[in-house]
Chains A and B, each alone.
Chain A
Amino acid sequence: MTGKLDLDPALVARARELARRAGQPVVDLARSHTTVSVERAVLRLAGVSGADPDGIPWVNRLVDAVVADVGLGHGVALPVFDALVREQITDVTLLAQKAAAGSVRFEVPSGKAATAARKAARRSVGAGVRLIDRRRAERERLVKRWGDPARRPWIYLIVATGDIYEDIPQAQAAARAGADVIAVIRSTGQSLLDYVPEGATREGFAGTYATQENFRLMRAALDETSRELGRYVRLTNYASGLCMPEMATLAGLERLDMMLNDSMYGILFRDINPVRTFVDQRFSRQVHARAGIIINTGEDNYLTTADAVDEAHTVTVSQLLNEFFAHEAGLADWQLGLGHAFEINPEVPESFRLELAHALLARELFPDAPLKWMPPTKHMTGDVFRGNLLDGFFNLVGAMTGQGILLVGMMTEAVVTPWLSDRDIALQNVRYVLGAAGGLHEDFVPAPGGFIQQRANRVLGEALELLERIGEQSLLTAIAEGTFGIMKRPADRGKGLAGVARHEADYFNPATEILEGEAA
């Protein structure tokens, strides 16, 4: 479906080139730095699991011990696997326990000791990566056995009770009611925890903690429901916040299918340090690429703080940047759930045509990506009747522009967390629109030179202008100056900066080595 908007291919190519130019310095930065969370993810791949009696994960205790002795800049793999040899133990978790008790000293080995440590680290981390490979193969087998949803877009529903044992029956009920993708919303505030909690959890605020055990429990429950329905139901969680690399790793190990993973969301909306975010993001996306996970980017969020008409082009710019970073990390087009949203004020004249223009622009710019279409939130007022109508129009835009993933809008958005009946009414709305107009994208071709074509071309033009401006000053400066979503985020501020280090000359990370070897 190319050519509905008469976009100039030269301009589109120029936009991609500018996104590459803006993004490349950030990639270089990511390649020359590491973070505590990247190193903890390496240890998780090497099999370190569990937590101390206070609930602090052993990976945190081990990384902290290594950093205290030799700093972060060498990576933890060399010191840890060197210490294993010296302590004559094979279990890395046991080493973490000893290190936490203060009975192990870490050093950076050289010569033969370094070679031996590198070899042992590669073997151990390689086993973790192979586990992710097996999970991916398992998904492919199950999708083949149970089948994909019969049509696009996939219907994406959220559960958010705070209690994994409440989430499970709700998720299963949602799947039976027609959901193709279940997202378990995380507890508010988890993004700012610098560790991943352990075990099954029943206490969360406005969501449920993301833990390896919660991932496992929910995936197992949805497997059961998928078998019953004859349709593979996908599971989504969040690789965002301070623990992106570890979340990505755990998702790969527990066969999650989609992860929210945005290049700038943490910086803009959680005030996480920009360097920390970009380093963590690159590693997490490399893991997603390997695990066959579809990422969901967060462009919808810009429109909740900035005006959806005036700032429409910032969504396009962010999508282009997200695409560049994703490709660079090894993700394929089918894994790019680039986000955008129906957030134009319904009082604006021709708001529906503007929405169509923006949604179609995204579709045409990224023809092979399963775009993620997000429902209205900002202009949902508590008038649930009007809200249901808005959601209907939102669903219609999704059908008319061939969106890949449709997050089901709730008429009670901004009123209550969805009730059972709210969800049923919302799904009824989706089913009606997709049933009545699901193939409309085949017939819908905007008039040449008409309102929609003009609007789309104008947004693309504004996106190019912004990218040209960013190109002159670097992406980090643009973020510092508040180009995206109004918020200003300087590179030397924000949470998590203390956990970032520049690579030393002998920096070694067996996970990156394996993941990049495969991607090349």
Chain B
Amino acid sequence: MTAVEAGAVAPGGADGAAKKIVRPYGDTTGDGMVQVSFTLPVPHDKRAEGAAVQLANRMGIDPAMLVHAKPIGEGFTFFVVYGRVNHLVDLAAVQVVERDFPLLSAKEVNAVVKQRLRRKLSVVGACIGTDAHTVGIDAILNVKGIAGEKGLEYYRELKVTNLGAQVSVPELVEAARVEKADAVLVSQVVTQRDAHLHNTREMSAAFREAMPAGKRPLLIVGGPRFDESMTGELGVDRIFGRGTTPGEVASYLVHALITNKKATA
């Protein structure tokens, strides 16, 4: 489903409190237009097209314009539908994990670590389980970084150990111990059968078992398919989702470990 750009304030509630109601924007404020594509397991005929329109209606698209229908494979039809969606979104009721720490430059990160921690901050990173996709952890850790922003290895005051792919949880715990890790970064890309969730729970449990509270490193996981609000459930301190940059991670490390350090629970 393609979410079209958020539109404007709904007519009625504009002058009230901070209540902002939006609906999708096609080419006119308030038109509510969206575009979706999907496949139904039926051969292409009139009935199939009717079924597609009915599905779109149930999704709140009314009227639904069926603009494209094409048989694909045997007994399947692909549809593209444009139409007006009758759902509204109240921006005041939207809940997200907002960044709750200041974004620092590499220089500022180095300065805080040097002045307040007075030693290098040790970071250990890995892809755990059978996940071999090091793209994420490498983007955050390698000097090369991502989108022109250098990775954590570039930060003079950070000591980075990147264990790479397919690291077992015991190996990770041992490396964290040896490197006296202040923080452990784990990347999980493969999500089949919720592997990313199982692996993360296994990892956090292993750290809880191996090290007493207060001695444990900060546990951070990242990956494109995580829900950032699941920290409690997964037993980690922070989850970073799609599009996270090394600078955000470094700023968070400084925030959590130095400037906002609270007694570890």
A-side residues, CB < 8 A to B, are 162, 173, 176-177, 187-189, 191-192, 205-206, 269-271, 304-307, 378, 382, 414, 417, 419-421, 424-425, 486-487
Contact for B192 among A173, A205, A420, A421, CB less than 8 A:
A205
Chosen A-B contacts, 28 in total, with CB atoms closer than 8 Å, are: A162-B192, A176-B73, A176-B74, A177-B72, A177-B73, A187-B130, A188-B130, A188-B131, A189-B166, A205-B130, A205-B190, A206-B190, A206-B192, A269-B132, A270-B132, A271-B166, A305-B135, A305-B138, A306-B144, A307-B144, A419-B39, A420-B39, A420-B76, A421-B38, A421-B39, A424-B73, A424-B78, A425-B78
Question: Closest A-chain residue to B164, C-beta based?
Answer: A271
- Size of B's binding interface in residues, CB under 8 A: 27
By the criterion CB–CB under 8 Å, are A486 and B142 in contact?
yes
Contact for B73 among A306, A420, A487, CB less than 8 A:
A420
Question: Closest A-chain residue to B129, C-beta based?
Answer: A189
**Bound CA–CA A378/B73 (angstroms):** 29
By the criterion CB–CB under 8 Å, are B142 and A269 in contact?
no
Given contacts A177-B73, A270-B165, contact A421 B130 (CB under 8 A): no
Answer whether residue B7 sits at the interface, using C-beta atoms and an 8 A cutoff: no
The 4 closest A-B pairs by CB, nearest first: A189-B130, A424-B72, A188-B130, A421-B39
On chain B, the residues within 8 Å of A425 by CB distance are 78
Question: Closest B-chain residue to A310, C-beta based?
Answer: B144
**Bound CA–CA A421/B132 (angstroms):** 27
Name the residue in A206, A269, A304, A378 with the highest tally of chain B Cβ atoms < 10 Å from its Cβ.
A206
Question: Closest B-chain residue to A414, C-beta based?
Answer: B224
> What is the distance, in angstroms, from B109's C-beta to the closest C-beta of chain A?
23
**Bound CA–CA A101/B29 (angstroms):** 79
By the criterion CB–CB under 8 Å, are B73 and A305 in contact?
no
Contact for A304 among B37, B38, B70, B135, CB less than 8 A:
B135
- Extra contacts besides A176-B74, A177-B72 (5): CB < 8 Å: A189-B130, A205-B192, A205-B195, A425-B78, A486-B142
On chain B, the residues within 8 Å of A487 by CB distance are 164
What sequence of 0s and 1s flags, for each residue 46-84 of chain B, a beta carbon within 8 Å of any chain A beta carbon? Answer: 000000000000000000000000101110101000000
By the criterion CB–CB under 8 Å, are A270 and B193 in contact?
no
By the criterion CB–CB under 8 Å, are A173 and B130 in contact?
no
> What is the distance, in angstroms, from B22's C-beta to the closest C-beta of chain A?
22
Contact for A486 among B38, B131, B144, B165, CB less than 8 A:
B144
Given contacts A271-B165, A304-B135, A307-B144, contact A205 B193 (CB under 8 A): yes
> What is the distance, in angstroms, from B178's C-beta to the closest C-beta of chain A?
16
What sequence of 0s and 1s flags, for each residue 154-166 of chain B, a beta carbon within 8 Å of any chain A beta carbon? Answer: 0000000000111
Answer whether residue B242 sits at the interface, using C-beta atoms and an 8 A cutoff: yes
Question: Closest B-chain residue to A188, C-beta based?
Answer: B130
> What is the distance, in angstroms, from A129's C-beta to the closest C-beta of chain B?
33
Answer whether residue B110 sits at the interface, using C-beta atoms and an 8 A cutoff: no
> What is the distance, in angstroms, from A171's C-beta to the closest C-beta of chain B?
12
Question: Closest A-chain residue to B167, C-beta based?
Answer: A271
Question: Closest A-chain residue to B73, C-beta based?
Answer: A173
> What is the distance, in angstroms, from A45's C-beta to the closest C-beta of chain B?
30
Question: Closest B-chain residue to A192, C-beta based?
Answer: B166
**Bound CA–CA A271/B242 (angstroms):** 27
**Bound CA–CA A306/B164 (angstroms):** 15
**Bound CA–CA A419/B39 (angstroms):** 9
On chain A, the residues within 8 Å of B192 by CB distance are 162, 205-206, 417
> What is the distance, in angstroms, from B238's C-beta to the closest C-beta of chain A?
22
Name the residue in A187, A188, A269 with the highest tally of chain B Cβ atoms < 10 Å from its Cβ.
A188
Question: Closest B-chain residue to A415, C-beta based?
Answer: B224
> What is the distance, in angstroms, from B72's C-beta to the closest C-beta of chain A?
4
Answer whether residue B251 sits at the interface, using C-beta atoms and an 8 A cutoff: no
Contact for B72 among A188, A205, A271, A420, CB less than 8 A:
A420
By the criterion CB–CB under 8 Å, are A421 and B134 in contact?
no
By the criterion CB–CB under 8 Å, are A188 and B78 in contact?
no
**Bound CA–CA A177/B71 (angstroms):** 11
**Bound CA–CA A320/B167 (angstroms):** 32
Given contacts A269-B165, A305-B134, contact A421 B195 (CB under 8 A): no
Question: Closest A-chain residue to B138, C-beta based?
Answer: A305
